[in-house]
Structures are given as C-alpha cells and as structure tokens.
C-alpha cells in the first residue's frame, strides 16, 4: 500500500506574515493520514525549516540547478537545498519548461543533482492542450519520463513523479479522475518496466486540485496524492485537500 503524499507548490507567492499564518494552521491541523510537504520560494526555506522542524511536515524547493556550484547567478544548488533541510525539490514544472525553456535533458540533470544530495526530485510531466487534442498525451509524458529514467539509471526508482496536464494548471480545468487515472496507469507501467519498482513509486496528480475534487482524484488506484498550486495558499483549502488524502 503506497502512502499518499500531498505537496503544496507556493510558486512565487508568500510573505513572512502570510507564511507564518499558513504554516501555523497546518501545524495545528495535524496529524494527517498521509505525508504533507510545502515547496516554498527559496528565500523562505530557512524560516519554513525553523517553523516545521520537529514536526512530520516536510518542505522543499521549487527548482534546483543541475550544477554543483559555480558562476551561475541566480541559481540554487541541490546541496544548498539539502542544507536547508529540504526533503523534496520540484523539477520540470511546466512553468519552468515554458518560461525558462527547460528541456527534458536539463530536467533529468536537475533530478540527478537532487538525488545525489539526498533530496527527492518531484519530476513533473504533462501534455499541453494541443498535444492532448492531437492524441499525443501518452507519447509526450512517456518521452518526458523516459529521459529522466535513462539519466538516473538504477536510482530512477527514488523519484516522485507528478502528472500535471499543462492545460489544467492554474486554469480551473481539472482532468477527470478517469483521464488522470489513465495517464497514471501508463506512467506506472513505464516505471515498473524500467525500474522493477513501479508498484511502490509515488505518482502525484496536479492541475486545479481543490477541496471538492481531491477525494475523487486521490481515490483512483494509481493516484498517490497531489501537487497543489493555488489551493495550497489558503490554509482551509490545503488542509481539506491533505485530509482527502488521509
């Protein structure tokens, strides 16, 4: 039985005051039935770590460099995330792929850098609306994942995968539970064939998950929790989603 995982992706939101309120509400709402983490802007990592230390809530980054260190202005290394106590880092989010032109090879290199430092990469894959309408969903997500699997070789079973249809992120459009389950099933079969550990690996769904659709999505056999954007910013909504995974 895979334990559920719900991860909040704060994106470029938050302030010291708002974060303190949100994290304190999360701490008060524990325990949850599954694992819960928040991926916060890097500048807030240390205070998040200080607030959540000693609790069962985890934290993580939203991206990391593929490089260990060096003249890469503005970048943050996996080592730095590890030092900040991060359990997770999101890599390959569609916003990074779209606005920062990250390709599959770079995403794979970032996943490898994270794993090398003991930080679990949450590898995002997902199709655009045009790709779905062209019937290419399966091919797209399999290609995105296969590059990561190939790069990580025997460590590939250590990642978490997040299926995030691009057309569902921040749009209010959600994949139906059946649509999401169909893709998760394909991804799990791919992970199983490549690593032999697909049955124990976590595959999260992300894309306009809300308090009122979370339970049905998380009830699908291959959906192991969620990567939550907008709804992770309001304590009541995020707590309801975390409870839906319990």
Among residues 133, 164, 184, 199, the one annotated as catalytic is 164
- 154 carries an active-site annotation: no
**Tokens coding 94:** 């569609």
Nearer of residues 40 and 227 to ligand PEP, judged by Cβ? 227
- The catalytically annotated residue of 93, 95, 102, 127 is 93
Q: Which is nearer to ligand PEP, 113 or 169 (CB)?
A: 169
Shortest distance (Å) from residue 231 CB to ligand PEP = 6
9, 2, 4, 67: which is closest to 238 by C-alpha?
A: 9
Which residue, 203 or 228, has its beta carbon nearer to ligand PEP? 228
Task: Map residue 95 onto helix, strand or coil.
Answer: helix
* 93 counts as catalytic: yes
In the bound state, the residue with its beta carbon closest to ligand PEP is 229
Residue with smaller CB distance to ligand PEP, 86 or 194: 86
Binding site for ligand PEP (CB under 6 A): 9, 11, 164, 169-170, 206-209, 227-231
Q: What is the DSSP letter of 246?
A: -
- DSSP annotation of 3 reads P
Structure tokens of 148? Answer: 């990561």
**CB of 64 vs ligand PEP, minimal distance in Å:** 16
The DSSP code for 93 is -
Q: Which among 142, 76, 145, 143 has a CA at the least distance from the CA of 113?
A: 76
**Distance in angstroms (rounded) separating the CA atoms of residues 245 and 3:** 9
CB atoms near residue 24 (< 10 Å): 12
Residue reference for tokens 């009541």: 236
Write out the catalytic residue numbers: 93, 164
């Amino acid at each position: 039985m895979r334990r559920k995982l719900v991860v909040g992706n704060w994106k470029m939101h938050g302030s010291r005051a708002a974060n303190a309120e949100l994290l304190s509400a999360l701490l008060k709402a524990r325990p949850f039935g599954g694992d819960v983490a928040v991926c916060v802007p890097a500048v807030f990592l240390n205070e998040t770590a200080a607030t959540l230390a000693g609790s069962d809530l985890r934290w993580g980054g939203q991206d990391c460099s593929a490089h260990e260190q060096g003249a890469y202005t503005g970048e943050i290394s996996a080592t730095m995330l590890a030092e900040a106590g991060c359990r997770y880092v999101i890599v390959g989010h569609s916003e990074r792929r779209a606005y920062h032109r990250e390709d599959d090879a770079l995403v794979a290199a970032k996943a490898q850098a994270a794993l090398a430092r003991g930080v679990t990469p949450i590898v995002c894959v997902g199709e655009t609306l045009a790709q779905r309408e062209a019937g290419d969903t399966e091919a797209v997500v399999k290609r995105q994942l296969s590059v990561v699997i190939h790069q990580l070789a025997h460590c590939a079973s250590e990642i978490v995968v997040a299926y995030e249809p691009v057309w569902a992120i921040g749009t209010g459009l959600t994949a139906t539970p059946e649509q999401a389950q169909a893709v998760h099933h394909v991804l799990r079969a791919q992970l199983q064939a490549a690593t032999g550990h697909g049955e124990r690996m976590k595959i999260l769904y992300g894309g306009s998950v809300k308090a009122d659709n979370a339970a049905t999505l998380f009830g699908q056999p291959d959906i192991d929790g969620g990567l939550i954007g907008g709804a992770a910013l309001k304590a009541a909504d995020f707590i309801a989603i975390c409870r839906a995974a319990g």
